Structure 1
Amino acid sequence: MTLPAFEGATPQERLASLRASVSGRIVFTTSFGIEDQAITHMIRTGGHDIDIVTLDTGRLFGETHAVWAETEQRYGLRIRSFHPDPQALTALLDDWGANGFYLAKEARLACCGVRKVEPLKRALAGADAWVTGLRADQSQARGDIMGIEFDTGHRLAKAAPLYDWSRERVAEFCATEKIPINPLHAEGYPSIGCQPCTRAIAPREPERAGRWWWEEDTAKECGLHVDADGKFVRAKEVAQ
């Protein structure tokens, strides 16, 4: 697979070149955060044949469901949702209880695995490319994110069309285009995930400081973008 160059292009141009370069299915996974809302707008206004899906973990904020419905109405679409496997979820709750993720990192990773990682695998099944809302300046762990690369874990191209945009630039774009955004952003939640695992951040805290805040390590991820060792999954060369 030969991937398009993203350097020097706009996010809209990157989406267009990705669609032109990939013959198969492309999937965009949205969590309805401000970056994902910007990308949804770009996909729909650009007329790109890219599937828009979401992972409904069962523990999302009510505000997230509200902006989900508003987004569907604004763009005239249905966003397909992928949910946890019922048997796996039952086993997780039997093992750890409803909020066992507060007790041990092992429990939190197990919860993310059932509610997010496994549904993502189903969402990406059969796809040749995956579009995400990752930005390089979101955290130190994400600082070396490339605009487009080959994801060795999922065996597909992984594109981050906003990788070199700042949060301020994303917010300005959304305001100019009147894009629906989650009201929690205005209440100090720059990164919004599951309700029990997300808090507002204090001034000068990193964007992702409010995610799994009770854990001490600073490179915290849910497992969607990292391997078993907690490292971002990538390869230097694309498989031909």
Structure 2
Amino acid sequence: MAFLNLTWMNGVKWMDGRKGKEISWDNVSLRSGVGLPGWWRGGGRVRPWRSDRGCRKLASVVDPDALLHQVEMELGGSDDPQHVMSVALQTLGTDVAISFSGAEDIVLLEYARRTKRNFRVFSLDTGRLHPETYRLFAEAEKFFQIRIEYCFPDASQVEALVNTKGLFSFYEEGHKECCGVRKVNPLRKKLSSLRGWITGQRTDQSPSTRTNVNIVEMDTSFAGRDGVPLIKFNPLAKTSSEHVWNVIRSCNLPRNDLHLQGFKSIGCEPCTSAVIPSQHEREGRWSWEEATLKECGLHAGNIQTNEQSLSQ
């Protein structure tokens, strides 16, 4: 039987994963391995293995478009955060991880716990977080019985930045360079080992950069495993701050004590300030900068999407 036209199965493309080329199956013998790349053969026999769904395959390179389509089919148009979390963990397992830093993310951990599946959590430790944030990390680990995978900036890059421009260059030159060294680069390294990530983004967090956040989307700003784009899950996208805090209170989840002092969106200590009730929550970030583009670079796609919307 020829499998030349059999391209997809369960969202996986049958390819020569090392060379990135499709394999012609017309002259392949599954018993002897004739016609297959040598690295697929062993002892005169092809060594197939079985996927999680029992599908026998020889080798796989995940195609992000097919994977996104599979996820969207599983979601069925639902924007229920619990269902989104369940689909994310069921589909990608340990190839997806939750990005954890604040109030929204503690709710994500609760939704993940309810699935009764193993889940991974990572956090970016920039070296300049509030003491209250570090205490939240410790409380979250104890409450959910997990170990957070901490991601640190490259010491040589931090040293070069500080020795050249000082500790507070972002007050004069903007936050982009510092965030790049302390947050974006460590995130890029972490995501390169994953196929997807889960964030606490909501459309109501920022009227200028997050109004178009989708429940699930392709993240082309970073490269995941095998150098392909990641699937980005935003289970809370269509919820609200009120929803988040209702879950926190009803489940008595750990929280950052800074919220009691007027802080809504919490980042690094030098770059975060409390806001008054009439201010939007992202206005507490980089308060000395222009107010409409409050992103550090972790969600760069938001700015690109916003600019495209404004140009239409």
The answer to whether TM tops 0.5 is yes
Identity over the aligned pairs, expressed in percent?
A: 37
- State the secondary structure of the residue aligned to 2:221: coil
Contact 1:225 1:232 in 2 (8 A): no
Higher relative contact order (CA 8 A, sep 6+): 1
Structure 1 segment 79-228 matched on structure 2, within 5 A: 79-105=148-174, 108-140=175-207, 141-154=209-222, 155-226=229-300
- Check if 1:12 corresponds to 2:85: no
2:103 is aligned with 1:34: yes
**Partners of 2:79 and 2:215 in 1: how far apart?**
10
**Alignment map for 1:223-234 (pairs within 5 Å):** 223-226=297-300, 230-232=303-305
CA distance 1:138–1:6, shift in 2 (3 Å): farther
Report the secondary structure of 2:300's partner residue.
Answer: coil
CA contact (8 A) 2:100 2:121 kept: yes
Displacement of 1:206? 0.6
2:144 paired with 1:75: yes
Answer whether contact 1:25 1:50 (CA < 8 A) is retained: no
TM-score scaled by structure 2? 0.70
Given that 1:57 and 1:115 are in contact with CA atoms closer than 8 Å, whether structure 2 keeps it comes out as yes
Which consecutive unaligned segments of at least 5 residues does structure 2 have?
A: 1-66, 223-228, 307-312
Asked whether the equivalents of residues 6 and 14 of structure 1 are also in contact (C-alpha less than 8 Å), the reply is: no
Deviation readout 1:53-102 (Å, 9 max, x if unpaired): 00000000000001111111111111110001001001110221011110
Q: Which of 45, 51, 54 matches 2:120?
A: 51
Could you say what secondary structure the match of 1:123 adopts? helix
* Separation of aligned partners in 2, 1:49 and 1:190: 30
User: Is residue 59–residue 194 contact of structure 1 (8 Å, CA) maintained in 2?
Assistant: yes
Judged with a 3 Å threshold, the aligned counterparts in structure 2 of structure 1 residues 59 and 215 are, in CA distance, closer, same or farther, namely same
2:121 & 2:252 partners in 1: Cα distance? 20
In 1, Cα distance between equivalents of 2:259 and 2:171: 24
Q: Helix, strand or coil for the counterpart of 1:137?
A: coil
Change (3 A) 1:78 1:232: farther
Where 2:274 maps in the other structure, the secondary structure is coil
For residue 20 of structure 1, report the CA deviation from its aligned partner: 2.5
Q: Distance in 1 between matches of 2:296 and 2:103?
A: 19
Structure 1, unaligned stretches of length 5 or more? 234-240
Deviation at 1:9, TM superposition (A): 4.1
Please tell me whether the aligned partners of residues 132 and 161 of structure 1 are also in contact (alpha carbons under 8 angstroms).
yes
Q: Which amino acid aligns with 2:231?
A: A
Specify whether residues 34 and 6 from structure 1 end up closer, same or farther in structure 2 by C-alpha distance, changes over 3 A only: farther
- Give the match for residue 61 of structure 2: none
Post-superposition offset of 1:47: 2.2
- Check whether the contact 2:92–2:195 (CA below 8 A) recurs between aligned residues: yes
Q: Distance between the aligned counterparts of 1:99 and 1:212, measured in 2?
A: 12
The runs of at least 4 consecutive aligned structure 1 residues that moved more than 4 Å come to none
Q: How far has the Cα of 1:231 moved from its partner? A: 2.2
- Give 1:50 shift: 2.8
Q: Given residue 218 of structure 1, which amino acid in structure 2 is its aligned partner?
A: T
Q: Is the contact made by 2:93 and 2:119 (CA closer than 8 Å) also made in structure 1?
A: no
